Amino acid sequence: MNKQAAYRHIENIAKPLSNYCNVEVHKFGVITSEDIGDNVENESIWVDGWDFTAWIIFNKSVSNAEIEKCKRFLSRDVYSKQINLSGSLVSKIYFGEGFQYFASNSISSTLHPSTSESQIGKLETKITIPAWVDNIVTQNMGGTYAPDYKKFARNLNLSYNEAKVYLATYGMRSFGEAKIIMSNLISNNAIRSSWSSEHQINILDFGSGTGGNLAAIIVAINEAYTTPPKLKILSVDGNENMLALQKDFLERIISHYNADVEIEYLHHRVTSLEDLMELASIADDDYHLITSFKCLSEIVSFPKIYYEFAKAISKRLHDKGILLILDVTTKDNLPQFNPILMNQELRSLERESSLKTLIPISCYLNSANCDVECFGQKQFLISHSLNKKYDISKVYYRALGHQSFVKQVHNRTSKGRFLIKWRYNLDGISQGDGVCKHCGDQTINIDAYYLKNN
């Protein structure tokens, strides 16, 4: 539903709700997925699972009993907070509206505090960008911070100067996410030891942009091994300005470690299946790591892009390789949210190939028999010298590999109640609030994104 239609919808609800609950409405409005950018998050509440979030400000502070009445009227959860209206405290309520994407039988929305004793394994998702990396981006390269999620929703035609803003703003988020995810993957003995037995680790990154995630991969590998392996990287992007800035950035990262890293920067735009096939044929190594961060959702006109990309490029995946696809969790103009599409498309590829999901672990256990429209999400908090406190980044990712390798990695996987959707609450605590439908009868909470060391 577009914003105008959503607004009209709430206009029709506000009056009868006010009559039923006997409280006067001061103002009402809507938040749609288009608004979920950098500023909305901290001051408003977004109700997951629905087409949009509606809000109503009452002219007084309402009691719990009145909130319960609102819930009864709407037949759904209602979230409330106190706000200051011209010097007096009044209540603002939020509720999901329009189409409900998460059927209640597929994802539970009950909260599970992270401090729960029955929770084992949790990925730490708060990160401060290392000072030396921060310094390269902000001091040496003159990166500036200017979040603008609408402008940076498509990055194929950014200029060199815009790319500098991208790097210091969004590239730093990708750095943080990739550093956390890669460090967790390499901490697993099966992955670590199989890669250390190789004389060289081959990496391919598609939609590499200004190099945020690639820089973090180089850092994670150099930190994890006493004698880091040689890295050979094929970095592919359709924007030459992004690639030029990336080259400058990565050269500085590599020289910090004096690391043995060889990078080929390839300017290649994918606009058709043929372009994807061409990419798979240009990439003539077997890759230990194939990544794509926040790029595939930019190629919106391409039907089943997650499926087609993974199918084409996995022909180049090493026996002990990992294919890691990460994307933002928006819906854009697509019929579904990206995580739902990614899940549907990658599990259908799994069923017809030798690939198997490594992460989320619940998908490793259940993908073969899963048809749920499942919305997964991890939220990362990234802080650096240019943002006031931290940036909140909402992404979803799936890592896959060949079956035998994935089974070796997961040789001691415990059963549990796998949390596949996470969010930070207002106190800065990360909470699992979406449970894999296939694990609902289990009692021990486990972060579906956390890979144990083994």
Q: Give 213 or 222: the residue with its C-beta nearer to ligand SAM.
A: 213
The runs of H, that is alpha helices, within 47-171 are 64-74, 131-135, 160-166
Smallest gap from Cβ 170 to ligand SAM, in A, equals 6
229 contributes a contact to ligand SAM by CB under 6 A: no
Binding to ligand SAM (CB under 6 A) within 116-155 occurs at 155
Contact status, residue 293 vs residue 212, Cβ threshold 8 Å: yes
User: In the set 69, 294, 398, 402, which binds ligand SAM (CB under 6 A)?
Assistant: 294
For the purposes of burial, counting CB atoms within 10 Å of the CB of 221, is it exposed (0-12), middle (13-18) or buried (19 or more)? buried
The tokens for 116 are 């729960």
Contact status, residue 184 vs residue 216, Cβ threshold 8 Å: no
382 contributes a contact to ligand SAM by CB under 6 A: no
Of 236-244, 338-346, 374-382, 391-399: span binding ligand SAM (CB under 6 A): 236-244
Smallest gap from Cβ 231 to ligand SAM, in A, equals 17
Of all residues in this chain, which one has the CB nearest to ligand SAM in the complex? 209
H/E stretch holding 128: strand 126-128
Cis ω for the linkage preceding 360 (within 30 of 0)? yes
313 contributes a contact to ligand SAM by CB under 6 A: no
User: In the set 299, 346, 358, 448, which binds ligand SAM (CB under 6 A)?
Assistant: 299
For the purposes of burial, counting CB atoms within 10 Å of the CB of 371, is it exposed (0-12), middle (13-18) or buried (19 or more)? exposed
Smallest gap from Cβ 386 to ligand SAM, in A, equals 15
Smallest gap from Cβ 301 to ligand SAM, in A, equals 9
User: In the set 53, 108, 138, 174, which binds ligand SAM (CB under 6 A)?
Assistant: 174
Q: Give 237 or 433: the residue with its C-beta nearer to ligand SAM.
A: 237
Looking at the DSSP assignment, which residues form a beta bridge with residue 79? 94
Binding to ligand SAM (CB under 6 A) within 199-228 occurs at 207-210, 212-213
Nearest Cα to 364, choosing from 454, 444, 448?
448
Looking at the DSSP assignment, which residues form a beta bridge with residue 424? 430
269 contributes a contact to ligand SAM by CB under 6 A: yes
Sketch the per residue contact string, 242 through 261, with ligand SAM: x for CB under 6 A, - otherwise.
x-------------------
Q: Give 170 or 307: the residue with its C-beta nearer to ligand SAM.
A: 170
298 contributes a contact to ligand SAM by CB under 6 A: yes
**DSSP assignment of 147-168:** --TTGGG--TT--HHHHHHHII
For the purposes of burial, counting CB atoms within 10 Å of the CB of 310, is it exposed (0-12), middle (13-18) or buried (19 or more)? buried
Q: Give 10 or 168: the residue with its C-beta nearer to ligand SAM.
A: 168
Of 196-204, 237-245, 341-349, 422-430: span binding ligand SAM (CB under 6 A): 237-245
Count of residues engaged in binding ligand SAM, rule: CB under 6 A? 23
Of 7-15, 138-146, 220-228, 233-241: span binding ligand SAM (CB under 6 A): 233-241
Contact status, residue 238 vs residue 204, Cβ threshold 8 Å: no
Neighbours of 190 (CB within 10 A): 18
Q: Give the contacts of 83 (CB within 8 A, at least 6 positions apart).
A: 57, 89, 90, 91, 92
Of 61-69, 238-246, 398-406, 426-434: span binding ligand SAM (CB under 6 A): 238-246
**Footprint of ligand SAM (CB under 6 A):** 155-156, 170-171, 174, 207-210, 212-213, 237-239, 242, 269-271, 293-295, 298-299
